[in-house]
Amino acid sequence: MKVIYTFLYYVVAKKLPMQPIPGYKFYYWLRYQLVKRIIKKCGKNVVVKNNCYFGNGSNLSVGNFSQLGQNLKVSGPVSIGANVMMGPDVVIMAVTHDVSDLNKPMIDPSNLSIEEPVFIGDNVWIGTRVIILPGVSIGSNSIIGSGAVVTKSFENSSVIGGVPAKIIKKRE
């Protein structure tokens, strides 16, 4: 059945519009119904905006009341906490290339082998076009500014931004 749900999501539901188009609540409901049957763990009342891509979903966990932003791209083992919201065009990569062998061409598919899980805590706001790289943990109650490239982990209540991302301030 998972194959059928995945097919329906990627062929039909993924492309359905978001608000303020009439019928958008039904489209959100339909995407949620399919996604919760596809991904590893899906909390209640998760909002899935259009064009989200997460492969076969076997490595993605999403907490209650979270939101998967428009055009989200997820690769590898990713855990998203509860009450997380994200802007459009977020990329979360938990898979990287093994580039230790200089005699192996970069394009060799066997290089794509290192999985470093990504963890995003509860109550996190991820801005538009943020890129989160493998092995990163984002603490709960944090904010990631638009356009940030997150290459390392950050503690709870951090406001981060930049390329590479750094702490701008701590939330009180």
Question: 89: phi > 0 → left, psi -120 to 50 → alpha, else beta; which?
Answer: left
d(CA 65, CA 37) in angstroms, rounded, equals: 16
Percent of the chain exceeding pLDDT 90 equals 84
Nearest to residue 57, comparing CAs of 81, 74, 33?
Answer: 74
d(CA 46, CA 34) in angstroms, rounded, equals: 11
Mean pLDDT of 43-57: 96
Chain centroid to CA 40: how far? 13
114-164 pLDDT, tens digit per residue, is 899 999 999 999 999 999 999 999 999 999 999 999 999 999 999 999 999
Rounded to 5°, the CA angle 129-66-148 comes to: 20
16 exposed, middle or buried (CB, 10 Å; 0-12, 13-18, 19+)? Answer: middle
What is the dihedral sign for C-alpha 23, 25, 27, 33?
negative
**Which CATH number applies to 2-99+108-170: 3.30.460.80, 3.50.30.50, 3.90.420.10, 2.160.10.10?**
2.160.10.10
Tell me what pLDDT residue 112 has: 66
pLDDT exceeds cutoff 70 at 25: yes
Residues marked active site are found at 97
61-119 pLDDT, tens digit per residue, is 999 999 999 999 999 999 999 999 999 999 999 998 877 888 888 777 776 678 999 99
d(CA 96, CA 113) in angstroms, rounded, equals: 7
Any idea where the domains of the chain sit in the sequence?
A: 2-99+108-170
